[in-house]
Amino acid sequence: MATMVKPMTILERHGAKLEAMETAERNVLRAAVAWAPAGRAATEARARFTGAEGKLVAAQAALDGGLHKISLADRELADSLRQLGAAGLTREAVGEGGGAMISDVLQAAAGVQKGEKGATAARSAASSAAGASSAAWRDVLVAYDSLREAAPDADFRSVAALFGRDGITTGPPADAEGVEKAVRERLTTMGSK
């Protein structure tokens, strides 16, 4: 008697491929969750840098306004003060007296100096945070490449949509908090494995 071989079901033939694809998708999502703190830190650092630059612009505008007022009264004095620049506008360099206009200019110059230091520090912090975010984002890209290799014929627009764009092959998204929320929801929907 011939032995009868039970035919394989569709899921038996394709189940391993589906499971590999789901595992690869979870790896993308987990990499995104791991990236999110660095992404949030980069966003916050950019915001601090923008704020510091705004303060610097305001301080420079105050200095320019003060020098303009002085130039209306004494153009030569204003030109001499401009030549000193913000770093050189100190009471020691300018001398005593001069009234409220000189005091205002000196105070504004001190604000510019402080603003320059703040903007420089914030720029450095933003650059470091962006670098850390980009480094963590590379893990997401590596996981995404693995997902595409696991199922080269699949359509991954639903995964890419979690990142707020048509694809995730570029740099990290700006909305780390929103991405993290969407990714965590997707992981919950997929169930833990």
Q: pTM of the full predicted structure?
A: 0.76
d(CA 24, CA 151): 9
Tell me which amino acid residue 174 is. A
At 118-156, the pLDDT tens digits run 999 999 999 999 999 999 999 998 998 888 888 777 777
Mean pLDDT of 73-86: 88
At 60-70, the pLDDT tens digits run 999 999 999 99
The pLDDT score that the predictor gives to residue 46 is 95
Is the pLDDT at 1 greater than 60, yes or no? no
CB atoms within 10 A of CB 164: 13
> What Cα–Cα distance (Å) separates residue 59 from each residue in 53, 116, 171, 179, 181?
10, 10, 34, 36, 39
Residue 108: burial class (beta carbons within 10 Å; 0-12, 13-18, 19+)? buried
Contact 48, 125 (CB under 8 A): yes
Least confident segment among 58-67, 68-77, 103-112, 166-175: 166-175
